[in-house]
């Protein structure tokens, strides 16, 4: 398996100090140092271990259902006049790519001798993926969630509870994701010996961004193999993925980062419009700052207060972006695009009617930019379909009449 591939010397992967260019690092309080340092010292050795890799591969295949298909979307390809493949992360157990990372991290926690798992969640998708692997392994699970989100996301709260997790409300600040993260960090400081903190995206202090990217890199590893089988070439012309924190994009890009002929297209959520004041297009609006112990691009006011992001999709509603993506933006290695709420909705209905696949609203942001690439008929485009749309049905139902002609 390639999760432990040696990336030293790469311009785009993490360096030995935990940085991507000038982004990344571990800006942690002193009291968190032992926990993060234990991870940093051990993660590559654990990921390199053959036994670990076998267990990870086994669970990905028999529990998650991997490899996820690489599907040539015929009618979508006809519409955009290119060869468009969908990487079907929507078909994974629990409905999205997040399970790849939680499987990897729970196996790692076991190797470190941890007995208890904590996590933060916004909309509840990462909380459900974490509660799922904790049930699988019979481990204690505590998920911190803003009390506002607990009210808004009742079905996911019920799933987590059914899976045996304790859902702890965060009642400070705006009572959403950022406050839940603060509570989780506080818990970790108080329980350094027996607890592992499963972070849900390529964010947080080093080594999390690299570790999570490696667990998600199974996506690009499979894309290369599947594309070679189907087309005789392993490298596509374009890889597109939506970006919240950036983990599905990091996984879809990972093995292509140093192959500069592969054009990387991350798509952020522009909400009601990039300059509307209701947006989550961090690369466009952000400035360097520190969020969740990592130096990265961050939406902030003049005096450094975090600006509340907005997106129709809860998974993209994040005021920062992982340090890898900040670096890909700054170096120009990736071409960052963005899509509004309305454009994502339209793309979701389009895919559904052309291919019979109801995508997650997050993934629909990537689909929404297919028309902007000036594609040639021979071009091979891979879109990471990060999740399925079941969780978004309430939103889709509200827009059914707008997008369905009788
Ligand atoms: C959480 C989520 C995302 C956003 O997270 P990334 O770390 O940016 O991948 C995207 N799509 C789906 C379906 C999600 O659940």
Mind listing the pLDDT tens digit for each residue in 299-329? Answer: 999 999 999 899 998 889 888 999 999 999 9
Please tell me what DSSP assigns to residue 134. H
Q: Which of 252, 266, 297 is nearest to 365 (CA)?
A: 266
> Active-site residues: which are they?
98, 120, 386
Q: pLDDT tens, 142-165? A: 999 999 899 988 999 999 999 999
- Residue pair 145/168 in contact (Cβ under 8 Å)? The answer is yes
Residue owning the nearest CA to atom 13 of ligand 1: 387
Q: Which of 212, 239, 256 is the last residue of a domain?
A: 212
d(CA 184, CA 24): 20
221 part of a folded domain: yes
Q: Which residues of the chain have pLDDT under 50?
A: none
- Residue pair 199/208 in contact (Cβ under 8 Å)? The answer is yes
d(CA 84, CA 44): 35
* Residues 368 and 255 grouped into a single domain: yes
24 part of a folded domain: no
**Share in percent of the chain as helix, strand, coil (round to 5):** 45, 20, 35
172 — phi, psi (to 5°)?
A: -100, 170
- Residue pair 63/103 in contact (Cβ under 8 Å)? The answer is yes
* Residues 265 and 201 grouped into a single domain: no
**ω into residue 29 within 30 of 0, thus cis?**
no
* Residues 236 and 363 grouped into a single domain: yes
21 part of a folded domain: no
* Residues 90 and 230 grouped into a single domain: yes
* Residues 55 and 123 grouped into a single domain: yes
Helix (H, G, I), strand (E, B) or coil at 117: strand
Please give the tally of structural domains in the chain. 2
d(CA 173, CA 43): 33
Residues in the chain: 406
Residue 41, CA atoms < 13 Å, CB-side half-sphere: 7
Q: Which of 212, 242, 265 is the last residue of a domain?
A: 212
Instruction: Look up residue 264 and give its two tokens.
Output: 């990387």
Virtual torsion, Cα 343, 344, 348, 350, nearest 10 deg: 20
Give the model's pLDDT for residue 180: 93
Strand arrangement, sheet containing 287-291: 19-20, 23-24, 294-298, 287-291
d(CA 349, CA 359): 9
Mutate to test the pocket of ligand 1, among 153, 246, 362 (most ligand atoms within 8 A of CB): 362
- Residue pair 97/243 in contact (Cβ under 8 Å)? The answer is no
* Residues 305 and 161 grouped into a single domain: no
Give the model's pLDDT for residue 1: 58
Helix (H) or strand (E) holding 146: strand 140-146
* Residues 80 and 175 grouped into a single domain: no
How far does residue 201's CA lie from ligand 1's centre (Å)? 8
* Residues 246 and 324 grouped into a single domain: yes
3 part of a folded domain: no
Distance between first and last Cα of the chain: 49
Range of the domain at 328: 65-95+217-404
Mutate to test the pocket of ligand 1, among 244, 249, 283 (most ligand atoms within 8 A of CB): 244
Residue owning the nearest CA to atom 14 of ligand 1: 315
190 part of a folded domain: yes
Give the model's pLDDT for residue 239: 98
Give the model's pLDDT for residue 101: 98
d(CA 329, CA 358): 30
- Please report which residue ranges of 235-356 form alpha helices under DSSP H: 247-253, 282-285, 323-331, 341-355
* Residues 158 and 235 grouped into a single domain: no
1 part of a folded domain: no
Q: Which of 194, 212, 230 is the last residue of a domain?
A: 212
How far does residue 244's CA lie from ligand 1's centre (Å)? 6
* Residues 271 and 337 grouped into a single domain: yes
How far does residue 71's CA lie from ligand 1's centre (Å)? 20
* Residues 181 and 250 grouped into a single domain: no
Q: What is the DSSP string of 162-231?
A: HTT-EEEEE-STTSSHHHHHHHHHHHHHH-TTTEEE---SS-SSTTHHHHHHHHHTHHHHHHHHHHHHHH
120 part of a folded domain: yes
* Residues 136 and 125 grouped into a single domain: yes
Instruction: Say which CATH number the domain at 304 has.
Output: 3.40.50.1100
Residue 247 in contact with ligand 1 by CB distance below 6 A:
yes
Residue 360 in contact with ligand 1 by CB distance below 6 A:
yes
Residue 340 in contact with ligand 1 by CB distance below 6 A:
no
**Burial of 274: CB neighbours in 10 Å, binned 0-12, 13-18, 19+:** middle
- Count CB neighbours of 148 within 10 A: 17
Residue 98 in contact with ligand 1 by CB distance below 6 A:
yes
- Residue pair 250/216 in contact (Cβ under 8 Å)? The answer is yes
287 part of a folded domain: yes
């Amino acid at each position: 398996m390639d999760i432990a591939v040696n990336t030293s010397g790469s311009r785009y992967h993490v360096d030995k100090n935990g940085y991507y260019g000038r982004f990344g690092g571990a800006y942690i309080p002193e009291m968190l140092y032992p926990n993060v340092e234990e991870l940093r010292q051990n993660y590559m050795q654990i990921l390199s271990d053959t036994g670990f890799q076998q267990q990870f591969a086994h669970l990905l295949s028999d529990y998650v259902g991997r490899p996820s298909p690489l599907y040539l979307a015929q009618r979508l390809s006809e519409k955009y006049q290119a060869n468009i493949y969908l990487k079907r992360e929507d078909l994974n157990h629990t409905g999205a790519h997040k399970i790849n990372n939680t499987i990897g991290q729970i196996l790692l926690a076991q190797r470190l001798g941890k007995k208890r798992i904590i996590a933060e969640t916004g909309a509840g998708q990462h909380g459900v993926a974490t509660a799922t692997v904790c049930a699988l392994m019979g481990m204690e699970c505590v998920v911190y969630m803003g009390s506002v989100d607990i009210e808004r996301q009742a079905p996911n709260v019920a799933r987590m509870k059914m899976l045996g997790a304790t859902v702890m409300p965060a009642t400070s600040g705006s009572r959403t994701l950022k406050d839940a993260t603060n509570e989780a960090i506080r818990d970790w400081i108080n329980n350094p010996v027996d607890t592992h903190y499963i972070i849900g995206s390529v964010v947080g202090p080093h080594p999390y961004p690299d570790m999570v990217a490696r667990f998600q890199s199974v996506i690009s590893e499979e894309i290369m193999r599947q594309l070679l089988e189907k087309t005789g070439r392993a490298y596509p012309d374009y890889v597109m993925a939506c970006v919240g924190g950036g983990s599905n994009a990091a996984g879809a890009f990972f093995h292509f980062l140093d192959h500069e002929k592969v054009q990387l297209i991350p798509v952020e959520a522009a909400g009601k419009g990039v300059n509307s004041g209701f947006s989550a297009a961090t690369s466009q609006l952000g400035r360097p700052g520190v969020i969740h112990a990592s130096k990265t691009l961050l939406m902030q006011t003049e005096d450094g207060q975090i600006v509340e992001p907005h997106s129709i999709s809860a998974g993209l509603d994040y005021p920062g972006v992982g340090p890898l993506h900040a670096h890909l933006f700054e170096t120009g290695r990736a071409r960052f695009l963005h899509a509004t709420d309305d454009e994502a909705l339209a793309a979701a209905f389009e895919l559904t009617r052309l291919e019979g696949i109801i995508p997650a609203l997050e993934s629909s942001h990537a689909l929404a930019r297919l028309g902007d690439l000036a594609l040639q008929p021979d071009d091979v485009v891979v879109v990471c379909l990060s999740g399925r749309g079941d969780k978004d049905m309430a939103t889709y139902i509200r827009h059914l009449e707008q997008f369905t002609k009788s």
